[in-house]
Amino acid sequence: MIAAAPSSKREAVAQGEGLADSRGRWLRDLRLSVIDRCNLRCQYCMPADVFGEDFRFRPLSELLTFDQLTAIAAAFIELGVSKIRLTGGEPLLRPDLPALIRQLRALDDGVDLALTTNGLRLAAMADKLREAGLNRVNVSLDALDPEVAARMAWRPVDPQRVIQAIETAQACGLGVKVNTVIKRGVNDSQIVPLAKLSREIGVTLRYIEYMDVGSTNRWQASEVVTGTEIRQQLKELSEVQPLPGEFGDVARNYRYTDGAGEVGFIESVSRPFCGSCTRARVSAEGTLYTCLFSSHGLPLKPLLAQGNALPALITKAWRKRDDRYSELRKSAKKDSVHPEEMWRLGG
């Protein structure tokens, strides 16, 4: 197994040093996909009319093994990455996932290990994930109304089951945030009810603007509910005030002035944050992507047998990185780009 970098490397990155791309953005975060399949068909990611019951995902034999995933993670830690998020697809569909988390935790006690999930399997696994070394989970919950939730997911979804999973994760010591993608005319009626819930159970809710990721979700700008619009609706509950942020933050965070916690906004469409993006993504079969909107990536799997070749290759790819799709969205010729699907490259 590749030895991880000492904590001093992470400290150097935190002080503004480390591996920078062509726009001065440091490599700090790794999204590591462990599986491409999912048990939902959310409108914004994997629409059911395209990815139906007969759709075939990659067999597990074609995905990176746990040892390969660990070797890739070790290379990124060596280069200064301090946060690793396990993604998919739905990562909790990967068999024996706690074993991978134990391997990743063994690389470096100081690395922040997180996971994004739809929550349907979380309640049964939360204790094992925490014991293995996971720090945090982000749980997707797009509606409290079961009919609206099913319309968003194109599958029956019991929001109460997800809420119980959130509370179970909290009880076992995992940090928890809730992610909500808002699509106009589909689940925008749930903005205030979801905010009320998050305030009641003491979790930070992050509203995500509906994005044009991939080529199949038929994104239209008119379907985006902006962070500004959402904050206006939240005035029904309380005013919100912005909190200081750090370079590389995905969400812009606010606090409720009535003292009932915090709320975040991921505004990739209305307020792009490309200029501070510090995230690399590796797909479940081992391809490195330097942007969520990438149309091609760099295969890492063939290099895993070449000893310490990975850090040098990643360094070269990151230094050339010039991605800023969200800043160029209005002028980009999307039809000629054909970006990769989010569930393939890992959200």
Could you report the per-residue pLDDT of 167-179, keeping only the tens digit for each? 999 999 999 999 9
pLDDT class of 4 with cuts at 50, 70, 90: very low
Tens-place pLDDT, residues 97-136: 999 999 999 999 999 999 999 999 999 999 999 999 999 9
pLDDT of residue 288: 96
Alpha helices in the chain (DSSP H): 7-14, 66-78, 97-107, 122-132, 146-153, 159-171, 191-201, 227-234, 309-320, 325-328, 342-345
- End-to-end Cα spacing for the chain: 27
Instruction: Compute the average pLDDT of residues 41-57.
Output: 76
- pTM of the complete model: 0.91
Tens-place pLDDT, residues 225-267: 999 999 999 999 999 999 999 898 999 999 999 999 999 999 9
Who wins on pLDDT, 314 or 332?
314
Q: Does position 182 have pLDDT exceeding 50, yes or no?
A: yes
Q: Which residues contact 27 (CB under 8 A, 6 or more apart)?
A: 13, 18, 19, 20, 21, 76, 79, 80, 81, 278, 280, 314, 318
Handedness of CA 329, 334, 340, 342 (dihedral sign): positive
Who wins on pLDDT, 346 or 186?
186
Q: Does position 300 have pLDDT exceeding 50, yes or no?
A: yes
pLDDT of residue 296: 85
pLDDT of residue 11: 56
d(CA 78, CA 209): 33
Query: Three-state SS for 30?
Result: strand
pLDDT class of 332 with cuts at 50, 70, 90: low
pLDDT class of 336 with cuts at 50, 70, 90: very low
User: Can you list the positions of beta strands (E) in the chain?
Assistant: 29-33, 83-87, 112-117, 136-140, 175-182, 204-209, 240-242, 252-256, 262-266, 279-282, 287-289, 298-299
Instruction: Compute the average pLDDT of residues 20-49.
Output: 88
CA 232 to chain centre: 26
pLDDT class of 6 with cuts at 50, 70, 90: very low
| Domains assigned to the chain | 7-345 (3.20.20.70)
